[in-house]
Amino acid sequence: MTSNMLFEPYTLGAIQLSNRIVMAPLTRNRAGPGLVPGDLTAEYYAQRASAGLVIAEATQVSQQAQGYQDTPGIYTRDQIEGWRKVTAAVHAKGGRMVLQLWHVGRVSHVDLQPDGGQPVAPSAIRADTKTFVNNAFVDVSQPRALEIDELAGIVDDFRQAASNAIAAGFDGVEVHGANGYLLEQFAKDGANIRTDAYGGSVENRARLMLEVTAAVAQEIGPDRTGIRISPVSPANGIACSDPQAQYDYIVDQLEALGIAYIHVVEGATGGPRDIAPFDYGSLRRRFSKTYIANNGYDLGLATAHLSEGKADLIAFGRPFIANPDFVERLRSSAPLAEIDPTTLYGGGAAGYTDYPRLTQAPGT
């Protein structure tokens, strides 16, 4: 029955999923010393392993790539070992998991950067947004424009991070090309006013995003590689004058790379779906592999879009925070628990691993 499509198995590239529900990446700021994910992180993801695919929280590919305090990395041996415990816990529950690879670019603060340096960006344009550092939300720092000879190093950071992710036991990786972070900063002319080969035209602005994705796919295989994009989201002060042309071109090139999926934020990240005109069907038609739809989905909309062929998988984000058994609650149309907003970022088990399951008895 079409009403049950959400709960059917699905083949995502080289990864076999038990259902079509994706846990979207969610920043929780709970990495330990050395930005290493710990035992609580393993417990948190294992609790949510009934999702067909778990996309781990955005994880920086280098120290320079960090933009918020206590977010995990994937560039040191200890970080790889920490993530290996997480993937083992998820696999032990029958789950499948990919790691989202992140470079925040200008959405950072000097206190997080190597030697207190400036964050980097395509152009020296400060983002109208805040970051979480020193246990407080503060304005991001003024960035510097990346030199063209630095870009190959960033591509290599992503390539090495993808290799490290596979070494840590992940089933694949997702390149973070959304939400106003570095790769999207290059793609959108509100943040990119370069006049070299990485600025100006649609093709030039897409170059870094595509070079990173190609390098990752070559390193671990296109059938284990995906990317997240957000064509019209204004997240972190980003803007684009020509999103349809920009993303039609990007998706054409991603199709040529043969990667496993595109993960598309439809509308404003965490906000309205109809924030700006955009034809997501154009992206769907241009991409022959898996289309993961994200933003504002509930059971009804997810079922409708799957049955109408508008998407292959549906990603849910915030509902997974307070509902470790979110898949089971969807299946039975059970009510959802509400998030405690005071425990979203940072801290310990409270608001992280202590949300009860629907069938969990009090005190257990």
Is residue 362 in a domain? Answer: no
* Number of independent structural domains in the chain: 1
CATH code, domain with 330? 3.20.20.70
Is residue 66 in a domain? Answer: yes
The pLDDT of residue 360 is: 55
pLDDT in tens, 17-39: 999 999 999 999 999 999 999 99
pLDDT in tens, 183-193: 999 999 999 99
Strand, helix or coil for residue 209: helix
**Is the model's pLDDT at 2 over the cut of 60?**
no
Is residue 353 in a domain? Answer: no
Residues in the chain: 364
Is residue 336 in a domain? Answer: yes
Short-list 251, 208, 243, CA closest to 226: 251
What is the distance between the alpha carbons of residues 330 and 6, in angstroms, rounded to a whole number? 9
pLDDT in tens, 220-277: 999 999 999 999 999 999 999 999 999 999 999 999 999 999 999 999 998 889 889 9
Domain containing residue 159: 2-343
Is residue 180 in a domain? Answer: yes
Give the count of beta carbons closer than 10 Å to the beta carbon of residue 263: 28
Average pLDDT over residues 296-306: 95
Residue 314 DSSP class:
E
Contacts 24+ apart (CB under 8 A), 339-347: 344/28, 345/27, 345/28, 345/29, 345/132, 346/28, 346/29, 346/30, 346/69, 346/70, 346/132, 346/135, 347/30
Total-model pTM: 0.96
Is residue 276 in a domain? Answer: yes
Is residue 124 in a domain? Answer: yes
Is residue 226 in a domain? Answer: yes
Cβ–Cβ under 8 Å, residues 34 and 27: no
What is the distance between the alpha carbons of residues 252 and 269, in angstroms, rounded to a whole number? 23
Kindly list the catalytic residues. Answer: 181
